[in-house]
Amino acid sequence: MSASGAAVIAAGAVLWRVRDSSLEVCLIHRPKYDDWTLPKGKVEDGEHILSAAVREVEEETGHRVSLGRPLPTQRYIAGDRPKLVHYWAAHVPDGAPDWQPTREVDRVEFVSAGEAISRLSYRHDAAVVAELAEGPVQTSPLVLLRHTTSVDRSDWEGPDPARPLNARGLDEAERLTAVLAAYGRLRIVSSDAVRCTESVRPYADRCGSIIEVDPGLSEAGHEDGSAVPLVRRLVADGVPALVCSHRPVLPDLLAEASGRTLVPVPDEELPPGGFHVLHHRDGVVVSIETHTV
């Protein structure tokens, strides 16, 4: 890839559904270019890439989706600038969307994966659909979140479990709301430390979910190992879930949750508000992505 200027960052998804036992994916037609491509668009200034993917899909197809496993990032030249497009799989909910043709997209069609690969105007789009079709198509996410920025220990005189978020951490928690919502409604399990429950409360309020408090996810409670069976159960159950815990605890949770994995396990330390997303199927982790807020 040879071009000048900063890379254009875009995000989108391969929307899929099953009809008559056949995998179908969504294509869009753009009249300006007279091409068939996948729904995607540029990430706006200050926008998280996960939120951008969901927003662009809804704008171009009318479908409000929850993201599944990440698909290969496509790199190519658009005009005279490099372009990186991040894709995720996304199951289409039942029901017709409230969408009308626009100047940018005048047709939205679901076709079989094989037909999509043939009809798509660009080879890099076809490669993304082929990767989805190879499977697994349906996965569940397990989000392992480090709580957002809290009041420094040296500035807090009360018991450590009661140490709250500082102003920056509260802002991070609010920003996490839209980011985590890209994965839909998740079961929420949190350490009983205030800084953890405060980190997920805005997301819980938005989704109408309860926060299940588990002392085993705290720094002190982790010593007895009770959090290990929890993450095992979450992966085994296959229910989309969010676990909020602490920096010293998360490496063990990650190692346990990814015990059966087909992909490398990240070893970097998460910053406050950072999270790993483990996409799994039948107890096996097939993809891991890491994000910061």
Mark whether 41 and 182 lie in a shared domain. Answer: no
Give yes or no for a contact between 242 and 202, defined as CB atoms under 8 angstroms apart: no
Q: How many domains does the chain have?
A: 2
**Distance between CA atoms of residues 242 and 187, nearest Å:** 6
**At residue 111, does pLDDT exceed 50?**
yes
Give yes or no for a contact between 254 and 276, defined as CB atoms under 8 angstroms apart: yes
pLDDT of residue 3: 54
Mark whether 156 and 101 lie in a shared domain. Answer: no
**Distance between CA atoms of residues 128 and 14, nearest Å:** 8
**Distance between CA atoms of residues 99 and 108, nearest Å:** 10
Mark whether 110 and 237 lie in a shared domain. Answer: no
Amino acid letter, 48: H
Judged by DSSP in three states, 6 sits in coil
Least confident of 131-135, 224-228, 289-293: 224-228
Mark whether 81 and 34 lie in a shared domain. Answer: yes
Claim: this prediction has a pTM higher than 0.85: yes
**Nearest residue to 79 via CA among 159, 190, 1:** 1
Q: Is residue 183 part of a domain?
A: yes
Mark whether 149 and 210 lie in a shared domain. Answer: yes
Segment 214-219 mean pLDDT: 94
Mark whether 125 and 175 lie in a shared domain. Answer: no
Q: Domain range holding 41? A: 8-134
Mark whether 76 and 146 lie in a shared domain. Answer: no
Amino acid letter, 50: L
Give yes or no for a contact between 146 and 173, defined as CB atoms under 8 angstroms apart: no
Neighbours of 45 (CB within 10 A): 5
Mark whether 240 and 270 lie in a shared domain. Answer: yes
**Nearest residue to 254 via CA among 282, 230, 276:** 276
Domain final position from 134, 157, 177: 134
Q: Is residue 229 part of a domain?
A: yes
Strand partners, 111: 25
**At residue 140, does pLDDT exceed 90?**
yes
Q: In the predicted model, what is the mean pLDDT of the chain?
A: 94
Mark whether 186 and 110 lie in a shared domain. Answer: no
